[in-house]
C-alpha cells in the first residue's frame, strides 16, 4: 500500500505559513529571548497532570481517559500500537528488496529498514500520535529532537502504510516534529532550544501527554493546592470552567486545534491557556476560507462558522459536544442536542418532519451533517487505482438533497428500516 500525496495549494500555504512562523519566531527571539525562556521554565510547574485531578473529580477522570483527546498522544505499549508485529503482518515493502519491518526487541518496539535482508537503520517507537480512529503516526527521539517514523497505521484499511505526505518510493526517517504538531496533540512540552534554532528541541521529562484536563481548564497546580488546603471551601477560584467563558473564548479554545491551517503562529502557543484570546497567538486568515477549500479533517470551526445554525444563534462546540465523554457514533444523542434549539415554538423545525414521522428524532445527522471524504487524509491501497479517503462528518450544517435521497431510500426501501 502506498500513500501518495500531490502537492496541493494548501500544502504551499502551509509551507508559506511555516516560513512566516520561522521568521516571526526569530523576531520574537531577538526581542524577548531571555524573558521567554524564564516564562517557559516556570510554566511546567503550573501543571499537575490528570492523575492528580482524579483524586477529587474521579467521575470525570474515569470517563475522560476513554476519550480520543486523552488517547491522542502516549508512550507506546503493546496495546496502544494498533498495527501488528506478527510475522507476515509486520512488513511494509517499498519494492522487492527494500522494506520496513515492525519488530519488538528487548529495548522496545522498532521500525527497521532492510535491504536484501540486511539491516540498514532503525527507529524506536517513542510516542504514539492518534487515538487510532483514523490512524496513528509514531515519533522517535533523536537526542532532544523528535522525528516522525516512516510507517503509519491507517485504521480504515487496518494496515501499516507509508506516512501521509511521504514520497511513495523513498524511506524518510528524519522528518522533524515541530511544536505546532505537539500543540494540537498534547497539553504541554517544554521547548529547550533557542527560538533562532530551526529544528526545535524538547525536554524529555517536562511533558503532559495528550489533550488532558489542563488543556481545557488551564494549568491546575494552584487550584489543587488551594482546594487541598481549604477542604471546607466548595467554590473553585484558580481554575477555568469553559461554561463560564464568553462564546468567543470557548470557540478560541477549541479552534486552537480544530481551526485548520488558516492560523499563522506569532507567539509560542503552549502559553495559550483556556480563556485566552487566540489572536494573541495567531493571525487568522479568514478571507481564505470558503466551503470548497475547507477539508473535513482538522477544521470543524471553519465549516461550522459557515452554517446558519452558527450564524443565527450563540452556538459553540459545547452545545453539541460533552467533551468529558466518548460519544462517538451516538447519532440519536447528537440529534437530541439539535432539538434543544429546533423545537416547536423556538427555532424552525425540519420541513421533512411530517414526511419522516417520529423516526426523525433519532437522526438529524445523516441528512444535515453527512460523512464526507477528506482530501488531506487519503491513501492509495495496494491494488487500488483510486485513493481511499478517510470519511469524516462535515460541520457545514445545511440541506444536502443527495444525502436526503439516500436516507429516504434506505428508510422506505424494500425492507423498511428504522432510522
Ligand atoms: C483537592 C481536591 C481537588 C483537586 C485535586 C482538584 N479539584 Fe477541581 N475542584 C475542587 C472543588 C472543591 C471544586 C469546587 C466544587 C465544584 O465545582 O465541584 C472544584 C471545581 C473544579 C472546576 C469547576 C470550576 C468552576 O468555576 O465551576 C474545574 C473545571 C476543576 N475543578 C478542574 C480541576 C482540574 C483540571 C484538576 C486537576 C488539575 C482539579 N480540578 C483538581 C477540588 C479539587
Ligand atoms: C490541544 C488541542 C485540542 C483542543 C484545545 C481541543 N481539541 Fe478536540 N481533538 C484534538 C485532537 C488532536 C483530536 C483527535 C484525537 C485523536 O483521535 O487522536 C480531537 C478530537 C475531538 C473530537 C472527536 C473525538 C471525540 O472524543 O469525540 C471532538 C468531538 C473534539 N475534539 C471536540 C473538541 C471541543 C469541543 C473542544 C473545545 C472545548 C476541543 N475539542 C478542544 C485536539 C484538541
Ligand atoms: C492545528 C492542529 C493540528 C496539527 C498542527 C496537527 N494535528 Fe493531527 N489532528 C488534529 C485534529 C483536530 C485531529 C482529529 C480531528 C480531525 O481529523 O479533524 C487530528 C488527527 C490526527 C491523527 C488521526 C488520529 C485518529 O485516529 O483519529 C493523526 C495520526 C495525527 N493527527 C497526527 C498528526 C501529526 C503527526 C502532526 C504533526 C506532524 C499533526 N497531527 C498535526 C489536529 C492537528
Ligand atoms: C476538551 C476539553 C476538556 C477536557 C480535556 C476536560 N474538560 Fe472539563 N470541562 C470542559 C468543558 C467544555 C466544561 C463545561 C461543560 C459544561 O458545563 O457544559 C467542563 C467542565 C468541567 C467541570 C465543571 C463541572 C462539570 O461537571 O461540568 C469540572 C469539574 C471539570 N470540567 C473537570 C475536568 C477534569 C478533572 C478533566 C480531566 C480528567 C477535564 N475536565 C477534562 C472541557 C474539558
Ligand atoms: C444553538 C441552537 C441550535 C442548535 C443546537 C442547532 N441549530 Fe440548526 N439552526 C439554528 C438556527 C437559529 C437556525 C436558523 C433558523 C432560521 O433560518 O430562522 C438553524 C438552521 C438550521 C438548518 C437550516 C440550514 C439552511 O442552510 O437552511 C438546518 C438544516 C439545521 N439548522 C439543522 C440542525 C441540526 C442537524 C442540528 C444538530 C446537529 C442543529 N441544527 C443544531 C440553531 C441551532
Ligand atoms: C450542531 C452540533 C455540533 C456542533 C455545534 C459541533 N459539532 Fe462536532 N460533531 C457533531 C456531530 C453530530 C458529530 C458526529 C459524531 C459521530 O458520528 O460520532 C461531530 C463530530 C465531531 C468530530 C469528529 C469528526 C469525525 O468524523 O471524526 C470532531 C473533531 C468535532 N465534532 C469537533 C467539533 C468542534 C471543534 C466544534 C466547534 C467548532 C464542533 N465539533 C461543533 C455535532 C456538532
Ligand atoms: C431524511 C433526511 C432528513 C432528516 C432525517 C432531517 N432532515 Fe431536516 N431537512 C431535510 C431536507 C431535505 C430539508 C429541506 C426541505 C425543503 O426545503 O423542502 C430539511 C430542512 C430542515 C430545516 C430548514 C427548515 C426551514 O423551514 O427552512 C431545518 C431547521 C432542519 N431540516 C432541521 C432538522 C433537524 C433538527 C432534524 C432532526 C430532528 C432533521 N432536520 C432531520 C432533510 C432531513
* Confidence tier at 265 by pLDDT (50, 70, 90): confident
* CA 233 to ligand 1 center in whole angstroms: 11
Is there an atom of ligand 6 within 6 Å of 1 CB?
no
Task: Map residue 112 onto helix, strand or coil.
Answer: strand
**Is the model's pLDDT at 30 over the cut of 70?**
no
Rounded mean pLDDT, 262-280: 85
Is the dihedral angle over the CA atoms 29, 34, 35, 39 positive or is it negative? positive
Instruction: Please say if the pLDDT value at position 284 is more than 90.
Output: no
Please indicate, yes or no, if residue 338 is contained in any of the structural domains: yes
- Contact 321 CB / ligand 6 (< 6 Å): yes
Q: In 3-state terms, what secondary structure has residue 358?
A: helix
Q: What is the pLDDT of residue 73?
A: 98
Ligand 6 centre distance from Cα of residue 404 (Å): 20
Lowest mean pLDDT of 292-296, 302-306, 390-394, name the range: 292-296
Assess if residue 40 is contained within a domain. Answer: no
If you average pLDDT over every residue of the chain, what do you get? 86
Cβ-Cβ contacts under 8 Å for 265 (sequence gap 6 or more)? 17, 21, 24, 25, 180, 281, 282
Q: Select from 80, 125, 129, 202 the residue to mutate for testing ligand 3; criterion: most ligand atoms less than 8 Å from CB.
A: 129
What does the alpha-carbon distance between residue 245 and residue 253 come to, in Å, rounded to a whole number?
10
Q: What is the DSSP letter of 62?
A: H
Is residue 336 a part of any domain in this protein? yes
* Percentage of residues of the chain with pLDDT beyond 70: 84
Quick: pLDDT tens for 215-253: 999 999 999 999 999 999 999 999 999 999 999 999 999
Measured in angstroms, how far is the CA atom of residue 69 from the centroid of ligand 2?
5
Averaged pLDDT, 377-397: 74
pLDDT band at 270 (very low <50, low <70, confident <90, very high): confident
Closest by alpha carbon to 183, among 250, 273, 256? 256
315 lines ligand 6 (CB under 6 A): yes
Res. 173: pLDDT tops 70: yes
DSSP letter for 177, please: P
Tens of pLDDT, residue by residue over 66-124, are: 999 999 999 999 999 999 999 999 999 888 999 999 999 999 999 999 999 999 999 99
pLDDT at residue 297 above 70? yes
268 pLDDT above the threshold of 90? no
| Ligand 7 centre distance from Cα of residue 359 (Å) | 13
User: What percent of the chain is predicted at pLDDT more than 90?
Assistant: 63
- Quick one: pLDDT at residue 3? 38
CB atoms under 10 Å from CB of 188, counted, come to 21
Give residue 386's domain range: 300-411
Q: Please check whether residue 188 lies inside any domain of the structure.
A: no
List, for residues 139-172, the tens digit of each pLDDT value. Answer: 999 999 999 999 999 898 898 988 877 777 789 8
pLDDT of residue 169: 77
Whether residue 213 is predicted with pLDDT greater than 50 in this model: the reply is yes
pLDDT band at 416 (very low <50, low <70, confident <90, very high): low
Structurally, the chain folds into a number of domains equal to 1
Beta strands in 210-332 (DSSP E): 263-265, 282-284
Burial 244-275 (b: 16+ CB within 10 A, else e): ebeeebbbbbbbbbbbbbbbbbbebbbebbbb
Q: Does residue 320 fall inside a structural domain? A: yes
Has residue 244 been placed in a domain? no
With a cut of 50, say whether residue 22 has pLDDT above it: no
Judge whether 232 lies within some domain. no
Amino acid at each position: 500500500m502506498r500513500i501518495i500525496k500531490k502537492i496541493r495549494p494548501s500544502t504551499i500555504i502551509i509551507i508559506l505559513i511555516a516560513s512566516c512562523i520561522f521568521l516571526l519566531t526569530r523576531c520574537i527571539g531577538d526581542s524577548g529571548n531571555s524573558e521567554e525562556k524564564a516564562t517557559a521554565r516556570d510554566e511546567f510547574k503550573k501543571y499537575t497532570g490528570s492523575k492528580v485531578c482524579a483524586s477529587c473529580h474521579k467521575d470525570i477522570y474515569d470517563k475522560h481517559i476513554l476519550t480520543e483527546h486523552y488517547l491522542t498522544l502516549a508512550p507506546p505499549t503493546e496495546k496502544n500500537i494498533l498495527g501488528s508485529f506478527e510475522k507476515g503482518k509486520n512488513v511494509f515493502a517499498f519494492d522487492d528488496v527494500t522494506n520496513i519491518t515492525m519488530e519488538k526487541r528487548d529495548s522496545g518496539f522498532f521500525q527497521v529498514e532492510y535491504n536484501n535482508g540486511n539491516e540498514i537503520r532503525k527507529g524506536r517507537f517513542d510516542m504514539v500520535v492518534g487515538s487510532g480512529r483514523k490512524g496513528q503516526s509514531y515519533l522517535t527521539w533523536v537526542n532532544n529532537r523528535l522525528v516522525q517514523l516512516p510507517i503509519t497505521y491507517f485504521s480504515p484499511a487496518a494496515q501499516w502504510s507509508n506516512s501521509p505526505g511521504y514520497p511513495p518510493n523513498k524511506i524518510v526517517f528524519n522528518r522533524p516534529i515541530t511544536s505546532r504538531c505537539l500543540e494540537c496533540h498534547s497539553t504541554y512540552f517544554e521547548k529547550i532550544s533557542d527560538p533562532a534554532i530551526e529544528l526545535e528541541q524538547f525536554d524529555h521529562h517536562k511533558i503532559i501527554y495528550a489533550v488532558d484536563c489542563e488543556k481545557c481548564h488551564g494549568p491546575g497546580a494552584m487550584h489543587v493546592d488551594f482546594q487541598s488546603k481549604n477542604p471546607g471551601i466548595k467554590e473553585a477560584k484558580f481554575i477555568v470552567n469553559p461554561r463560564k467563558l464568553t462564546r468567543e473564548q470557548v470557540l478560541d479554545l477549541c479552534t486552537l486545534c480544530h481551526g485548520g491551517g488558516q492560523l499563522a503562529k506569532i507567539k509560542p502557543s503552549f502559553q495559550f491557556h483556556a480563556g485566552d484570546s487566540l489572536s494573541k497567538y495567531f493571525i487568522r486568515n479568514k478571507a481564505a476560507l470558503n466551503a470548497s477549500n475547507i477539508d473535513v479533517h482538522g477544521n470543524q470551526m471553519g465549516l461550522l462558522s459557515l452554517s446558519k445554525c452558527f450564524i443565527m444563534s450563540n452556538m459553540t462546540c459545547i452545545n453539541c459536544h460533552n467533551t468529558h465523554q466518548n460519544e462517538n457514533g451516538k447519532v440519536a444523542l447528537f440529534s437530541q442536542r439539535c432539538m434543544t434549539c429546533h423545537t416547536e415554538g423556538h427555532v424552525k423545525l425540519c420541513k421533512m418532519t411530517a414526511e419522516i414521522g417520529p423516526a426523525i428524532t433519532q437522526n438529524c445527522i445523516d441528512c444535515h451533517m453527512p460523512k464526507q471524504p477528506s482530501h488531506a487524509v487519503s491513501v492509495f491501497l495496494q491494488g487500488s487505482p483510486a485513493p481511499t479517503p478517510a470519511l469524516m462528518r462535515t460541520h457545514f450544517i445545511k440541506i444536502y438533497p443527495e444525502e436526503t435521497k439516500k436516507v429516504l431510500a434506505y428508510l422506505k426501501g424494500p425492507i423498511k428500516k428504522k432510522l
